Amino acid sequence: MSVTVRVPAKVNVQLAVGAARPDGFHDLANVFLAVSLYDEITATPAADGLRVTCEGPDADQVPLDRTNLAARAAEALAARYGREPDVHLHIAKDIPVAGGMAGGSADGAGALLACDALWGTGAGREELLDICAELGSDVPFSLVGGAALGTGRGERLTELEVGGDFHWVFALAARGLSTPAVYREFDRLAKGRDIPEPVADQAVLDALAKGDAAALAVAVTNDLQPAALSLYPELGDTLAAGRAAGALAALVSGSGPTTAFLATDAKSASDIAGVLRASGTCRDVRTAVGAAAGATVLD
């Protein structure tokens, strides 16, 4: 018997970042939108402890040791329920690695839900969300999906209404960016400036609720974008290529380096994807639609 869970990637349609806190994290107003790029995590009983395997185009970049969030999720759940984490976790990876799309977080949330179902632990949603928050700031959202405002370090979620489909194009970069490094660069660039408290932008929330892509396009912001561009200046060429191809908005996804392009409809997304693919400014291009459902057990 095994259990497979499908988990979406995310893009941040607003990422407002406050000053560094004493614990090193940053308070955020983080508007997450789940999109239809997925990892699938399969949990199978194992006699001999915890094992992680991975397949997919980026599989060679995925750590298979206990630093993998999927492994940490299984260990955290097993410890709470006083059992051994004897499980084989297989990750079919489609979300870009180190890309700013919460791929690692998706695997953590997916493994947690898969082990909960496999072991019959029956942890409630609140308990699963608590474990997710311990695993990482973006992990609770991977469980919940849809759209949500994350406050605190991003882990405290308020679900948001989404009134229609949003069509996206994602350009995958040649190399990854480390999230802590991007936050450190944010701190360096912010030095000597007054950083306001991060607050959710009503225009972003209204655009999501109406399903209005044109309104969302003028409202999207990402406070980590200057830091990501500072560490990876070539991303500026990718953003320019997508804008020239007719994207309504072009931005860095989260801490990057994946760049995200909002399109009017599926046809336009496919056209922009074609132009980006031919532009030579990125490694690969994907299209996706949001909002997508959160972590889901597959039959």
Residues found near ligand C5P in the complex (CB under 6 A)? 24-26, 28, 136-138, 153-154, 179-180, 183
User: Smallest distance from the beta carbon of 210 to ligand C5P, in angstroms?
Assistant: 28
Nearest CB to ligand C5P, comparing residues 73 and 118 = 73
User: Smallest distance from the beta carbon of 294 to ligand C5P, in angstroms?
Assistant: 17
Nearest CB to ligand C5P, comparing residues 150 and 242 = 150
CA–chain centroid gap for 83, Å, is 30
Tokens of 72: 């940490």
CA dihedral 226, 228, 230, 233 (to 10 degrees): -110
Q: Which amino acid does the sequence have at 217?
A: A
Backbone angles phi, psi at 127, to 5 degrees: -65, -40
User: Smallest distance from the beta carbon of 138 to ligand C5P, in angstroms?
Assistant: 6
Instruction: Decide if 138 is catalytic.
Output: yes
Q: Which of 10, 39, 58, 94 is catalytic?
A: 10
- Cβ neighbors of 183 (< 8 A, separation 6 or more) are 17, 20, 26, 224, 227, 255
User: Smallest distance from the beta carbon of 159 to ligand C5P, in angstroms?
Assistant: 19
Backbone angles phi, psi at 99, to 5 degrees: -110, -5
Nearest CB to ligand C5P, comparing residues 137 and 238 = 137
CA–chain centroid gap for 132, Å, is 14
User: Smallest distance from the beta carbon of 256 to ligand C5P, in angstroms?
Assistant: 13
Do 227 and 15 touch, CB atoms closer than 8 A? no
Q: How is residue 173 annotated by DSSP? A: P
Instruction: Decide if 267 is catalytic.
Output: no
Nearest CB to ligand C5P, comparing residues 27 and 116 = 27
Q: Which of 94, 107, 116, 138 is catalytic?
A: 138
Nearest CB to ligand C5P, comparing residues 178 and 270 = 178
Q: How far apart are CA 196 and CA 193, in angstroms?
A: 9
Positions marked active-site: 10, 138
